[in-house]
Amino acid sequence: MGCNSSTATVENCQMEPIDTDQETSTPLSKTQKSADVTSNAWEIQALNSHNEFRARHGVPPLVLKDEITRKAQAYAQYLTENNLFEHSTNRDNLGENLYTMSSSEPLTNKSLGMDATQSWYDEIKSYDFNNPGFSMETGHFTQVIWKNTSSLGVGVAFSDNGRRVVVVAQYGPAGNVMGQFPENVPPPQ
């Protein structure tokens, strides 16, 4: 298994699944630099968008997990502070999708949770349900709807000038496990 090393604005990595049942499911509340929306609002947007897409495929909804959210938030801040866009190397077997946006003017987008999730889900256009498996072009989509994934954490961070934002979504247990695509990536109903 390996990571998507595409230079597009979103990335995904496949990992072995873990059990995340010990974590709590209350979203964190924290204020971000830029825009007039809190990170909590983006977390809820991302959760609702994920669950809307997952319902289309008949898979169970996700819940936000504090521990995963803290990790995703810390990593989003690290990427922004260091002007990087790459997968974390130590995420305790969590799946991960990344999204970034930049502008010549400060960003005020209030729908980052929805926009990021939509961009990942849009890869459905390239997924072959008759030949299920991992593809670099569809790994974000398959992680979003992966049936055995039950938990989500979302981090959002802006650059100091507000012109770049990074969204990190982390998933537990991770999806995109080789040999498990047919039962975890059902077609829309």
pTM of the model: 0.80
Percent of the chain with pLDDT over 90: 70
Q: Tell the burial category of 158 from Cβ atoms under 10 Å away from its Cβ (0-12, 13-18, 19+).
A: buried
Q: CB of 148 within 8 A of CB of 81? A: no
Neighbouring residues of 139: CB distance < 8 A, sequence distance ≥ 6: 4, 12, 13, 14, 123, 176
pLDDT at 178 over 50: yes
Domains of the chain: 33-184 (3.40.33.10)
Looking at residues 103-124, what average pLDDT do you find? 90
30-86: per-residue pLDDT in tens?
Answer: 333 333 345 588 899 999 999 999 999 999 999 999 999 999 999 999 999 999 999
151-158 vs 63-64, strand pairing mode:
parallel
Model pLDDT, residue 105:
87
At 23 the three-state DSSP class reads coil
Query: What tokens appear for 89 in the block?
Result: 């190397």
Query: Confidence class of residue 4 from pLDDT cuts 50, 70 and 90?
Result: very low
